[in-house]
Amino acid sequence: MESIKIVANQPKEKISDLILSYPFKTKVKFKNETVENTESLIFNIDKQKVDESLIYDSLANFVQDLIIKLYMKDLIDSKVSAILQDYIDKDIEEVENTVYDLLLDDNHFEIEKKLINEEIKEYLSDNNVLIIEGYLRFRSKSFENLIDRIIEKVIIDIQMETEYEDFIEMLRYYLDSQIPKIDIVNVVINNNGFFLFDQKKRPIQNTTIKSIIEEYKMDDISKADVLVSSLIVLAPNKIIVHIKNDKEKDLMQILKKIFTNRLTFCYSCSLCDEQIIKTDN
């Protein structure tokens, strides 16, 4: 019987659970043997009983799945702990979990994972025996390189988030130090942009805001940046945001972070309806 032998130093129950989603699940035979002085689980897959055109694709997917789910968590924990040795345990654990989640997510690092899959498939097509521990140790650095890339991304994202939170805190501090130039600002948001009105529903005229808007038209500045800058210039005691849908969730989150208890929302009033009709026509 021509078969492919996979050797893994993992509990049979865990491997069996992974095999269940693969087409060769009923063609697998398990046995325990000592391999490289370690008690290992060996399972044979009879190639003659499985569609030859699908066997290597399925096997490569399975081996990659097995390595990621049963081997990579320890590698991640080891690498993250070494890199973040000055961090507290809670932060280290959070980074470890985030890295592992990204590794499991098929929508992240797709190119790298595809290359690893091709490497495994090529190895299986040339060899009838694959010892997982030996393969990881000697034959493929791709998994380790992938883990390094994911860790790098997670740490950079955390650094950027920290810088972002520091920037938000600075804006709040600056806002609190400003003397309000107006008591209430009504902000109307629609597809055409945003519009600022005072408490009597009159358009707000301010030379600084005009210059910000003109710069927005000429340069690559986001609507969120323009609106936040305009509101900080006015430093109102109260901001009422009039919006008819949930399309601006990211912008709303930014406003909440900066203006906190100064901010309220309105989803249906005369100003909402009348102004949107006026500006859209």
Where in the chain is CATH 3.30.420?
184-280
Residue 22: which pLDDT band, with cuts at 50, 70 and 90?
A: confident
* Residue 211 clears pLDDT 80, i.e. is over it: no
Pick the more confident residue, 262 or 90.
262
> Averaged over 158-176, what is the pLDDT?
92
Indicate the helix (H) or strand (E) that contains 8. strand 3-8
Residues ≥6 apart with Cβ < 8 Å to 56 = 121, 124, 125
pLDDT in tens, 78-100: 999 999 888 878 889 999 999 99
How far apart CA 3 and CA 147 sit, in angstroms, is: 31
pLDDT at residue number 279: 43
Q: Which amino acid is at 127?
A: N
pLDDT in tens, 93-152: 999 999 999 999 999 999 999 999 999 999 988 888 888 988 998 877 899 999 999 999
pLDDT in tens, 25-37: 666 777 776 666 5
| Total Cβ atoms within 10 A of residue 46 | 15
- Greatest mean pLDDT among 150-159, 188-197, 236-245 lies in 150-159
Structure pTM?
A: 0.75
Q: Does domain 184-280 bear CATH number 2.160.20? A: no
